Chains A and B, each alone.
Chain A
Amino acid sequence: QAQLVQSGAEVKKPGASVKVSCKASGYSFSSYGITWVRQAPGQGLEWMGWISGYNGNTNSAQKLQGRVTMTTDTTTTTVYMALRSLRSDDTAVYYCARWAVDRDALDIWGQGTMVTVSS
């Protein structure tokens, strides 16, 4: 069955960068996009951006533009999200989710990756 498996928890210092991976399996990778969503402790969901599994086109949230980079490796069906110049308010659980265009919705979610930014 389709699933997304993310990399493990990270602890970073302010100003550093983090790269989270999301391994897709059980479906045609090029037929779907991947969206990144984050959730700060005790807060709601925040849409970060998406990347096409077909051609690698991306679109990111305006507030994160310049700090976030999303890439794909089609040979390993893995998507990566890199966030640089980390601040304490970047502390959150980061989720990848499959974007089903025919549903206009995120139908499969990864297990989440906790990123803690602390000095």
Chain B
Amino acid sequence: GAGVSQSPSNKVTEKGKDVELRCDPISGHTALYWYRQSLGQGLEFLIYFQGNSAPDKSGLPSDRFSAERTGGSVSTLTIQRTQQEDSAVYLCASSFFRGYGYTFGSGTRLTVV
């Protein structure tokens, strides 16, 4: 597609429920990144994919967080047993040349009530 597409744009969920966030990167971009922005915070790195593999998962906050990427394209970030501190904007980005700048999606605003 023309840009990075994320869905849903907004998600309100009850504490303890599981959520899935989707990212559709720019066609041909092999690198895909997940970041999150909590209130008053910067962009916190979560996980990086090169193709379908995730060489760097160092930013995932806990084992409740997981992500996968299939076909070198769409990625899904799953949060199990959501907690209120998971409330944030989850941003996906993709790039062709690693480290030289990303194109971000508009993000998914997750609210855990």
Q: Do A and B come from one complex?
A: no
B-binding residues in A (CB < 8 A): none
Q: Which residues of B contact A (CB under 8 A)?
A: none
